[in-house]
Chains A and B, each alone.
Chain A
Amino acid sequence: GLKTLHLGSCVITTNLQGIRSGFSEIRDSVQAKDEIIDVRILRKTQSLQGTKPADQCCLLHHILRLYLDRVFKNYQPPDHHIFRKVSRLANSLLTIKKDLRLCHAHMSCPCGEEAKEKYSQILSHFEELPPQAVVVKALGELDILLQWMEEA
């Protein structure tokens, strides 16, 4: 059924299975275009699981904002099929981000030092790479982000 994400005191439910199935339809073709294979943006050292629960909501909120502001927005889909699938992902992740914003409004999504530090590391990994290449890589790394959420 629906997946319940426990992110410290922020608890949300989401159709993660639906998002995962949407992503799996484009994963191979997106990842095949990732030319930078020896670098990762989302690394184990900044994972949700390795973050203390109180900071997990804030970290995920910032990562989703990065994806919505700078990945989906700048991704150039090769065809309408991929375009529709990416739109589905973007709108689904937007739904999660809106839920996290509700937690923020209810003071259950604090941003501690750990969340800030880990997000800034992720951002620096992101900004070290060429603009168009990093968008393709980040989209391919949704695999990792979805796994982090599935384990939350």
Chain B
Amino acid sequence: DGVAVLPAPQNLSVQSTNMKHVLTWSPVTVPEEIVHYSVEYQGEYESLYTSHIWIPSIWCSPTQRPECDITEDITATVSYSLRVRATLGSLTSTWSTLKHRFNQNSTILTPPGMEITMDGFHLLIKLEDLGPHFEFFVSYWRREPGAKEHIKVVRPGVLPVYLETVEPGAAYCVKARTFVKAIGRHSAFSPTECVKVQGEALPL
């Protein structure tokens, strides 16, 4: 097939957002052939104590696409080495290793999507499901001078969340941010959203 040596994949890099980590690389192309790739990783422990040992990625050993979801391979907050090689039939390239080790504490945390709704006189919030790593800090207050800000911690999977019983004619504002305990970091707050409750304000 005219390919004496299979070139190794190049340009390895990791994109990580909200604890979803994807390793990508430039594809190795051989006309009219399907090249497969194998991904392996080493945690800091393996690098320090058993450096000859590499662990096959759970989803990408092998794979046909020039990318790999390594989220389930990265299971501790330590730095990981990652490597990829190409395979075509009996031909196998050398390994290409990610230049800089990856640590999940560098993931980009985005403000959570949220939806504020009313159920009768109950103020509810529905939050974006970002997976088991995420807790949410929801901050809400009644929009009036000197109003007290309340904080509610929402665990994964508990949606929508009751925030408060509201009064007719009043306005309430809400914002939220995420917290990931595995890396001890939180996102920025989402933009504040305010809602006006129908009906006449109650006489004092």
Interface centre among A80, A84, A91, A92 (most CB of B within 10 A): A91
In the complex the two chains form, is B45's CB within 8 Å of A72's CB?
A: yes
In the complex the two chains form, is A68's CB within 8 Å of B75's CB?
A: no
CB distance from A82 to the nearest CB of B (A): 11
Interface centre among A2, A22, A80, A87 (most CB of B within 10 A): A87
User: In terms of DSSP, what is the predominant structure of the interface of chain A?
Assistant: helix
Contact with B along A56-99 (1 / 0, CB 8 A): 00000000000011001100000010011001101110110000
In the complex the two chains form, is A80's CB within 8 Å of B56's CB?
A: yes
Q: Total number of A-B contacts with CB less than 8 angstroms?
A: 58
In the complex the two chains form, is A87's CB within 8 Å of B135's CB?
A: no
A18 contacts chain B at the CB level, 8 A cutoff: yes
In the complex the two chains form, is A15's CB within 8 Å of B49's CB?
A: no
Q: Given A69, A72, A80, A92, which contacts B76 in the complex, CB threshold below 8 Å?
A: A92
Residues from chain B with Cβ under 8 Å of A18 in the complex: 181-182
Q: Given B56, B75, B78, B135, which contacts A94 in the complex, CB threshold below 8 Å?
A: B78
Interface centre among B45, B49, B135 (most CB of A within 10 A): B45
A50 contacts chain B at the CB level, 8 A cutoff: no
User: In terms of DSSP, what is the predominant structure of the interface of chain B?
Assistant: loop
In the complex the two chains form, is A87's CB within 8 Å of B58's CB?
A: no
Number of B interface residues at 8 Å Cβ cutoff, please give it. Answer: 19
In the complex the two chains form, is B55's CB within 8 Å of A91's CB?
A: no
Q: Given B56, B75, B181, B184, which contacts A88 in the complex, CB threshold below 8 Å?
A: B75
B15 contacts chain A at the CB level, 8 A cutoff: no
Q: Given A69, A72, A80, A92, which contacts B55 in the complex, CB threshold below 8 Å?
A: A80
In the complex the two chains form, is B46's CB within 8 Å of A87's CB?
A: yes
State the CA gap A22–B181 with chains docked (Å): 15
Which 10 pairs between the two chains have the least Cβ-Cβ distance?
A: A91-B76, A88-B75, A91-B43, A90-B45, A92-B76, A91-B45, A91-B78, A94-B45, A2-B181, A73-B49
B contacts, CB < 8 Å to A: 43-46, 48-50, 55-56, 58, 73, 75-78, 135, 181-182, 184
